[in-house]
Chain A
């Protein structure tokens, strides 16, 4: 187990380096002047542009820029925004909100996804299986922003069950609808995954052997069918936790939640390349760490991996 973990962590390092390099390159080395892009449609103020270039080491060779960025990133120094505030301050203000939202969405999709998926997989062909299947298909097809608007319109405006927008310092209740919207697509995927896993595991040989032992249907389902079906579901969930933070951008935009996604989007509009790189780097790190956690969980769930 220890060896396995060590191997995974070692494999993680090139991925983190590669990913940050890629993001940095995308922002600062693509054809087109990033500083010009910062000004957007406005006329370029040359003196300001030169100042920015100097501040971000853009006058130095690309690899040096990147290494300087990495060095600073290690000390959590991501530079300042246009308005002079440290980037890290803004990020640390927005991060907790997004984490709260992502965790709520995560719980929502995990609980409902597994419950409906398992029911569907065990009772394949029944009417409620069909209903669950159709609903999950619909959820996958409808983009998050449309789901968001539908939620806002029906739950918020028409029936006034939940608040329409969340604002800058949202509580549990404010985030309920955004979390459901954010988790809906993944929930649909989990339903489908759990369903196909469960329904294919039902007819496996060792399940039959378990029944032949005289075990009750209930314990066969819990000990043999569910336990094994959950392995890929847990893998998906873990990878999704990282993706949820990135995907929160649309949801935060729609519900006016001042989290990481909102911050990123505003920075993009304002052309704060520095902020964008920092946030994307951080999110990528979160994603990679989540993957590592998944690997550990995976090893805990599946003994075959542990000793591999």
Chain B
């Protein structure tokens, strides 16, 4: 602990002595529209990043957070232009830099980890080649580590670095000889048996060519008991520099990519999203920039992967002394990772300060609103209230309806549901859903939680009878839905309605809002023209949208508004059950909160039952009574929301709960 304080003090001193690494003052960024109007995307925004510090910019989409970051890199899209203010990097003004001048600072001084791992790697080049490009572009010495002054200063606390050569990388050619020498050295000092195997195993996993340096090899040997001089002798003899390939593999390994040397020869389409993001992190850090701009680096990934990658990134940047400008929409995540938070709204910084302070005592009404709405914080709040031995129900938006869960009748019952898909070009079958059973009670909400590939959406499609199960049954009000045909199917459709994930895809762009909401009424031949129009008005009122929206088209509405239209459409036939397949996942926090409230209100008013599919466990707390956790097609855990949150039985559920951002935060209880 005291060592840590020591380092913190040292860091603080250094930061004060060096001043801010990046200093943005009164930044203004304009975009020009087609008809020549200027749109102010960022106005009078100021923030700064100190060496070795994580600073988060938080805001919803369109708040100007990414634009501010891109302005620092000189990579504004389209017509974007810095029209005022200053951006200083290490005290040098860069806001007026030409693209040629920016080339000199990009990569080497400022790196980028972009948002969408799917589109940010060029599909036609090997991963390794794309890492290599960064090294070549900045003339990086691939056989020696480039360590920032900060990292050096911090490392000094650990071990004395003797000379420049100590930063030489281990090469793959020398690795076998080095391991042999280490073996002999261990034997020489009398290490044997389990201790020997353990130490050698440790060396094998730690000594990655192109990443491990001479002094660290020496340090490892010394810590294993080898005498200082011997250790340094071995390290100097066998750690003599790495090739380009070694360095690429080393970088990928540092970013947490297993089997990096082989992976480097693969193409992006052979990588999963998480692996691509790791490759992008390797690229962003390849030239050891002093500042890394991470633009929502994990928002496209599963929560557990997100946590792993961010943990890794944090370790890596800490050890390298890299400062990180972290762009995110998640306040909980920002507060958990960064020391300093900048909240942006409509192109302006509305509040900034030390993370916890901002979170515990938000001052600006927008920040207050954000803090109140963030699902990750909400569930955290509940936990911390309970830890203080108070009644949490007062601050819960959705209280588990225990009574209904026990007494109400079952409206949807899924038993032993299994669905197999044939894998393309092979004869193998893939079980997307494997023996899943649960019941939805009338008037309650059952949430299915799982990451991508867990089979949760396949379940929802089978419940909606959009997909036939391979085996198992779904019953609605006691009758097997597989038997429904013609009229009975139409009747089933009338009572079980879906709301899908993508607010941009689920409404026909050619249909006016009126036609979209009216469609179910027309399909089921309900009412005449006049009564249908009246019903559409009623429904719009139900989802709190003005009547005038009727004449509009989906492209004119925001994601949240479209989702409310989709809910209105689903409500048109007075259904019993609504299946929400990731219905709020694509929405900004505040909008998400609004839609969740709407769903809760509708349930209270109309006694609806929900089957709520989501990847976000945090949201579950705000809406569900019952939770089913799925992984790889199997049901992992099933219980009431309180049980699952308070006493998770399975490791996977615990991992999911841990991955909710903000888990380590101590939140204040006074939210006024």
Listed in ascending order, the chain A residues whose CB lies under 8 Å from chain B are 203-206, 208-217, 219, 223-224, 227-228, 231, 301-304, 307
Contact yes or no, A213 B283, CB < 8 A: yes
Cβ of A214: which chain B residues have Cβ within 8 Å of it?
103-108, 134, 137-138, 287
Within B112-129, the residues touching A (CB, 8 Å) are 112, 114, 116, 119-125
Min CB distance A249 to B, Å, is: 37
B99 within 8 Å of A (CB atoms) = yes
Cβ of B103: which chain A residues have Cβ within 8 Å of it?
211, 214-217
Measured CB to CB, the nearest residue on chain A to B115 is A205
With A209-B112, A302-B123, A304-B123: A223-B133 Cβ-Cβ less than 8 Å = yes
**Cα–Cα, bound, A208→B99 (Å):** 12
B505 within 8 Å of A (CB atoms) = no
Contact yes or no, A210 B122, CB < 8 A: yes
20 A-B pairs within 8 Å (CB atoms) are namely A205-B119, A205-B120, A206-B120, A209-B114, A211-B103, A212-B73, A212-B75, A212-B111, A213-B107, A213-B283, A214-B103, A214-B138, A215-B103, A217-B103, A231-B124, A302-B123, A303-B123, A303-B269, A304-B269, A307-B269
**Cα–Cα, bound, A231→B121 (Å):** 17
B203 within 8 Å of A (CB atoms) = no
**Cα–Cα, bound, A224→B75 (Å):** 16
**Cα–Cα, bound, A209→B105 (Å):** 14
Listed in ascending order, the chain B residues whose CB lies under 8 Å from chain A are 73, 75, 77-78, 99-100, 103-108, 110-112, 114, 116, 119-125, 133-134, 137-138, 267, 269-270, 280, 283-284, 286-287
Min CB distance A125 to B, Å, is: 11
**Cα–Cα, bound, A228→B119 (Å):** 13
Known contacts A205-B116, A213-B138; 7 additional CB pairs below 8 A are A208-B114, A214-B287, A215-B103, A219-B133, A219-B137, A228-B122, A307-B267
**Cα–Cα, bound, A224→B107 (Å):** 17
Min CB distance B118 to A, Å, is: 9
Contact yes or no, A204 B119, CB < 8 A: yes
**Cα–Cα, bound, A26→B408 (Å):** 73
Measured CB to CB, the nearest residue on chain B to A223 is B133
Contact yes or no, A209 B283, CB < 8 A: yes
**Cα–Cα, bound, A231→B123 (Å):** 12
Min CB distance A1 to B, Å, is: 13
Chain A residues touching B, majority SS? helix
Contact yes or no, A212 B119, CB < 8 A: no
The 8 A-B residue pairs with the shortest CB-CB distance, nearest first, are A214-B107, A212-B112, A213-B134, A205-B119, A214-B106, A215-B137, A303-B267, A206-B122
Contact yes or no, B287 A212, CB < 8 A: no
Contact yes or no, A208 B75, CB < 8 A: yes
> Which of B111, B122, B267 has most chain A Cβ within 10 Å?
B122
**Cα–Cα, bound, A219→B284 (Å):** 18
Cβ of A211: which chain B residues have Cβ within 8 Å of it?
75, 103, 106
Min CB distance A219 to B, Å, is: 7
Cβ of B104: which chain A residues have Cβ within 8 Å of it?
214
**Cα–Cα, bound, A210→B78 (Å):** 17
> Which of A205, A217, A219 has most chain B Cβ within 10 Å?
A205
Contact yes or no, A215 B114, CB < 8 A: no
Cβ of B123: which chain A residues have Cβ within 8 Å of it?
206, 228, 302-304
With A206-B121, A301-B124, A307-B270: A212-B107 Cβ-Cβ less than 8 Å = yes
Cβ of B121: which chain A residues have Cβ within 8 Å of it?
206, 209
Contact yes or no, B137 A216, CB < 8 A: yes
Measured CB to CB, the nearest residue on chain B to A203 is B77
**Cα–Cα, bound, A302→B125 (Å):** 9
Measured CB to CB, the nearest residue on chain B to A215 is B137
Contact yes or no, A215 B133, CB < 8 A: yes
Cβ of B137: which chain A residues have Cβ within 8 Å of it?
213-216, 219
Contact yes or no, B99 A217, CB < 8 A: yes
> Which of A203, A208, A216, A307 has most chain B Cβ within 10 Å?
A208
Cβ of A204: which chain B residues have Cβ within 8 Å of it?
119
Min CB distance A303 to B, Å, is: 4
**Cα–Cα, bound, A209→B130 (Å):** 10
Measured CB to CB, the nearest residue on chain A to B109 is A214
**Cα–Cα, bound, A307→B107 (Å):** 32
Contact yes or no, B124 A303, CB < 8 A: yes
Cβ of A227: which chain B residues have Cβ within 8 Å of it?
122, 124-125
Cβ of A209: which chain B residues have Cβ within 8 Å of it?
112, 114, 120-121, 280, 283
Measured CB to CB, the nearest residue on chain B to A201 is B122
Cβ of A212: which chain B residues have Cβ within 8 Å of it?
73, 75, 106-107, 110-112, 114, 284
**Cα–Cα, bound, A100→B199 (Å):** 71
**Cα–Cα, bound, A113→B78 (Å):** 26
Contact yes or no, A228 B124, CB < 8 A: yes
**Cα–Cα, bound, A212→B107 (Å):** 6
Cβ of A223: which chain B residues have Cβ within 8 Å of it?
125, 133
Min CB distance A206 to B, Å, is: 4
Cβ of B106: which chain A residues have Cβ within 8 Å of it?
211-214
**Cα–Cα, bound, A224→B125 (Å):** 9
**Cα–Cα, bound, A211→B112 (Å):** 10
**Cα–Cα, bound, A228→B268 (Å):** 14
**Cα–Cα, bound, A176→B112 (Å):** 51
Cβ of B73: which chain A residues have Cβ within 8 Å of it?
212
- Which residue from A203, A213, A217, A224 sits with its C-beta under 8 Å from B78? A203
Min CB distance B579 to A, Å, is: 33
- Which residue from B110, B114, B124, B287 sits with its C-beta under 8 Å from A302? B124
Cβ of A205: which chain B residues have Cβ within 8 Å of it?
114, 116, 119-120
Cβ of B287: which chain A residues have Cβ within 8 Å of it?
213-214
> Which of A203, A212, A301, A307 has most chain B Cβ within 10 Å?
A212
Cβ of A219: which chain B residues have Cβ within 8 Å of it?
133, 137
Min CB distance B264 to A, Å, is: 14
Cβ of B138: which chain A residues have Cβ within 8 Å of it?
213-214
Measured CB to CB, the nearest residue on chain A to B110 is A212
Min CB distance A308 to B, Å, is: 9
**Cα–Cα, bound, A111→B123 (Å):** 25
**Cα–Cα, bound, A131→B659 (Å):** 57
Cβ of B122: which chain A residues have Cβ within 8 Å of it?
206, 210, 224, 227-228
Min CB distance A205 to B, Å, is: 4
**Cα–Cα, bound, A213→B137 (Å):** 7
Min CB distance A171 to B, Å, is: 40
Cβ of B283: which chain A residues have Cβ within 8 Å of it?
209, 213
Min CB distance B248 to A, Å, is: 13
**Cα–Cα, bound, A125→B112 (Å):** 30
- Which residue from B75, B133, B267 sits with its C-beta under 8 Å from A304? B267
Min CB distance B126 to A, Å, is: 8
**Cα–Cα, bound, A1→B123 (Å):** 17
**Cα–Cα, bound, A302→B269 (Å):** 11
Cβ of B124: which chain A residues have Cβ within 8 Å of it?
227-228, 231, 301-303
Cβ of A206: which chain B residues have Cβ within 8 Å of it?
119-123
Cβ of B100: which chain A residues have Cβ within 8 Å of it?
217
> Which of A209, A219, A223, A304 has most chain B Cβ within 10 Å?
A209
Min CB distance B178 to A, Å, is: 31
Cβ of B77: which chain A residues have Cβ within 8 Å of it?
203, 208
Min CB distance A203 to B, Å, is: 6
**Cα–Cα, bound, A210→B125 (Å):** 12
Min CB distance A89 to B, Å, is: 46
Min CB distance A263 to B, Å, is: 42
**Cα–Cα, bound, A217→B112 (Å):** 17
**Cα–Cα, bound, A304→B636 (Å):** 35
Cβ of B107: which chain A residues have Cβ within 8 Å of it?
212-215
Contact yes or no, A210 B114, CB < 8 A: no
Cβ of B78: which chain A residues have Cβ within 8 Å of it?
203
Cβ of B133: which chain A residues have Cβ within 8 Å of it?
210, 213, 215, 219, 223
**Cα–Cα, bound, A210→B111 (Å):** 11
**Cα–Cα, bound, A224→B123 (Å):** 10
**Cα–Cα, bound, A272→B121 (Å):** 57
Measured CB to CB, the nearest residue on chain B to A206 is B122
> Which of B77, B104, B133, B138 has most chain A Cβ within 10 Å?
B133
**Cα–Cα, bound, A227→B111 (Å):** 24
**Cα–Cα, bound, A45→B114 (Å):** 80
